[in-house]
Every structure is written in C-alpha cells, then in structure tokens.
Amino acid sequence: MQTRRNALFATLAGGALSALPQTAAAQNQKADWMMDTKNFPSIGKVHRYDPAFDSLVAKDAKLEVIASGFDWSEGPVWVKNGGYLLFSDVPRNTVHKWQEGTGTSVFIKPSGYTGNTDYGKEPGSNGLTLDGEGRLVSCEHGDRRVSVLTKGGGKRTLADSYMGKRLNSPNDCCFKSNGDLYFTDPPYGLPGNYDDPRRELDFCGVYRRAKDGSMTLLTKEMSRPNGIAFSPDEKTLYVANSDPARSIWMAYPVKDDGTLGAGKVFYDVTVNAGKMPGLPDGMKVDERGNVFASGPGGIYVFSATGTLLGRIETGEASANCAWGGNGGTLYICADMYMCRIQTLTRGRLL
C-alpha cells in the first residue's frame, strides 16, 4: 500500500444499478454504488519495449475500467468456483465482490480492522489470496494479522506475531504448492507508519508460515517489502520493495527446505519513483514465467530473466493485479479504478 491522495471519484460508466446477493456472513448492507454494464470505458496505453511482448498482449488490447469509485483498490483475487473477483478497498475497510453482468457489492466489512477506535488512513485488508481449500486468506492492516475466512463466515488467525511480538501490518501473501504461506510485513497499516508507538518489531520482514503453524523469518533486508509471488517452478520468490529511495524487485532462490538463499536485484526502477505515479507493489507471474508487476507508471512486464518487455500504463498509482476469467484476463487495481486487460498468455488460477 502506497501513500496517496485521499479523494473520491464518480463512476466512469453508467448502467442499471442492481443488488448482488451477499455471500459472506453478516453482510446484509448494499454497496454505496454498483455497476451493471458491458460497455466499459478504456484508459491508459500499452508500451512495447521488446518484440516478445507481442506474444503476451495483443496490439489492439485495451485497458477497460470495469468498476470505479473506490478510495484505494488493492489485493485482487479471482474465485474460479463462482466466477467472480474479490478485492480490497484499504481505507474503507472493505472487501468488494465484482461479477460480470451484475457489478460490484460489499463482500466483507470490516475487512481488516475490527477495533472500536479510529485506526488511521489504511485500516482494512490489503493482499488477498485463496488457500488450497479455496478459502479467502487476507492480509489485515488494522488487526495486524493474516486470517482465513472459515465456513460460515468466521475468521481464524493464521499469523499475528513473531517471537512473541506483534507483526507490523501484513501486506501481501502467496502460497507455495505444499501449503506454506509466504507474506510481507511493512508498517503501512499502522496509523503512524514507521514511527508508530504500537510497533513492536524494529524491522520489516518477509515470512513463511508452514502448514504446522510455525513461523520463519526469511529476510529482513528490505526496507519496505510489499508484493510477493513465486515463479511457476517455485524455485524463485519475487518480492517488491516499495521504497522511493530504493524502488526494486528482488529475486530470491528458494531452498529445498523452503527458506531463501541470497537474493539479487531483479529490476530497479528507482529512477522512475516520483516521476510517474506508484511504486513497486503487487505482482503476478504467468505460466511462462513472465512477471507482471505494479510499479511507477502502471504494470511492468518482465521476462523471467529480468528483461523489460512492456508496460501497461494506467495513468494512476497501480497497486496490484491478478489473473482471472479463463486465466487470460489480467485484473488491475489502479487507485480508484478496477481495470482489466485481455492477454495472450495465462496465469494460474487459485
């Protein structure tokens, strides 16, 4: 989650408003707005830096805005058993659901902070994913934990501390195929950020929570670890560092025991920080090993060897992305917008 202006925007496209039945327990209120249209407006542009990019995104591909009006959209995940998208609005402490033809509705509120006092500007859930059973797993800023949504709508804490000290504010996460959970823990969700007196850890870590519940600190070398994703063979773990002074993506070799070897800089965009909206944030990897990563100026597309192939410019600070539909649709969180673009490649659906 990156610091941004606090503004509200109206929807870009109109259409009949329709209520979507709620699917999470205790969700009986309607969203503030909903969209039901197939005539989506397009924004941004696609930049092509390498001929290999043409095999990933068609030359006539458009970035469509499928929903808008959010404060800061984040952490999208496609639920293939139902055919819908879930994503966070971090400042509004809400997880939304979007489905083709019916629009957007509230899925969970509160999503990341259940306290009874004000908790800053970014209290809600951030990164979302699904576990091996198809259950929603959330990185919760305000409650400073990673949780899983259990049958019936209740939540169970997966991780909220390390060595007896509370986590900062878990940001993004991904599962290894063996069920181990990997996640990042910068302090963006704390009201005072790095200087918050509630902070108990003096570093920002990348962790592994094993299936047995044990916690391992994998690295604390990054100043602001954020987005996280595995290569298709799970031999490399990518981690974004959303620090304007060192805006990079790191690539770590994954050892047989699940820990990490010495990392190397996968790509450095520090020169672009502050010149274009956004910082290195969430990312996803396609079946060929190409990395689709949010950064200054939209979604950067890299080959597995770190060659910049193209960039999907959104015109806004872009937070994260996720594969959906049949695996060839990339959904993109761009500030107040939820967007999508059709690709010629596919990503693994959870």
Task: Give the closest residue to 171 by CA, choosing from 255, 280, 302.
Answer: 280
**C-alpha Rg value of the chain to the nearest Å:** 18
If you write DSSP's letter for every residue of 219-260 in order, what string do you get? E---SSEEEEEE-TTSSEEEEEEEETTEEEEEEEEBPTTS-B
61 contacts 44 by C-beta, under 8 angstroms: no
| 42-342 CATH choice from 3.40.50.1370, 2.120.10.30, 3.20.20.150, 3.10.450.50 | 2.120.10.30
pLDDT at 38: 65
Q: Is 4 left (phi over 0), alpha (psi -120 to 50) or beta?
A: beta
Q: What residues contact 59, with CB distance under 8 A and at least 6 apart?
A: 48
Q: What residues contact 12, with CB distance under 8 A and at least 6 apart?
A: 41, 43, 65, 68, 337
Q: How many CB atoms lie within 10 A of CB 71?
A: 20
Secondary structure letter of residue 302 according to DSSP: E
pLDDT at 153: 87
Give the pairing of strands 291-295 and 205-209.
unpaired
Q: Which residues of the chain have pLDDT under 50?
A: 1-36
81 contacts 69 by C-beta, under 8 angstroms: no
Q: How many CB atoms lie within 10 A of CB 342?
A: 15
pLDDT at 312: 98
State the residue for tokens 């919760």.
140
221 contacts 204 by C-beta, under 8 angstroms: no
CA angle 321/326/331 to nearest 5° reads 20
pLDDT at 323: 98
pLDDT at 39: 76
CA distance 295 to 270: 10
Query: Which neighbouring-strand residues pair with 203?
Result: none
pTM of the model: 0.90
CA distance 150 to 157: 10
How do the domains of the chain map onto residue ranges? 42-342
Tell how far CA 54 is from the center of its chain.
25
118 contacts 89 by C-beta, under 8 angstroms: no
- Indicate if the alpha-carbon torsion angle 332, 347, 260, 136 is positive or negative: positive
